[in-house]
């Protein structure tokens, strides 16, 4: 079984809750002929916070991965340069 991050599980759960509440509001509107927007007001704030936090975390992680890959690429290029000099000297 894959190890899934807690932040991803939380983001998925809150998203499912948000979209389920939208469906519920439409069902109430269809059957009762009134809008239950109070539910959306309660669910939209946590949804926005969790999704924004998740995207911010993912952005920071991607930035650090890109910087690390650039550093590795630079080290690799330095190593190749040393190897090419060694071949030329022989």
Question: Does any domain span residue 70?
Answer: yes
Residue 1 inside a domain? The answer is: no
Tell whether 67 is covered by a domain. Answer: yes
Question: What DSSP letter does each residue of 8-22 carry, written as one string?
Answer: HHHHHHHHHHHHHHH
- DSSP codes, 12-60: HHHHHHHHHHHHHHHHHHHHHSS--HHHHHHHHHHHHHHHHHHHHHHHH
Does residue 48 fall inside a structural domain?
yes
* 67: containing domain: 6-89
pLDDT for 33? 83
The C-alpha atoms of residue 65 and residue 21 are separated, in whole angstroms, by 36
Could you tell me if residue 54 is inside a domain? yes
pLDDT tens, residue by residue, 32-55: 888 777 888 888 888 999 999 999
The pLDDT tens digits for 8-30 are 888 899 999 999 999 998 898 88
Residue 45, domain member (yes or no)? yes
pLDDT for 23 equals: 92
- Residue 28 covered by a domain: yes
Ramachandran sector of residue 78 (left: φ over 0; alpha: ψ -120 to 50; beta: rest): alpha
- How many domains are contained in the chain? 1
């Amino acid at each position: 079984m894959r190890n899934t991050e807690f932040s991803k599980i939380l983001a998925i759960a809150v998203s499912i809750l948000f979209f389920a509440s939208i469906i519920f509001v439409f069902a109430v509107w269809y059957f009762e002929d009134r809008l239950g927007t109070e539910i959306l007001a309660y669910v939209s704030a946590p949804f926005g916070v969790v999704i924004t936090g998740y995207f911010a975390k993912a952005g920071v992680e991607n930035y650090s991965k890109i910087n690390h890959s650039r550093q590795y690429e630079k080290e690799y290029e330095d190593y190749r340069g040393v190897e090419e000099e060694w071949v030329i000297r022989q």
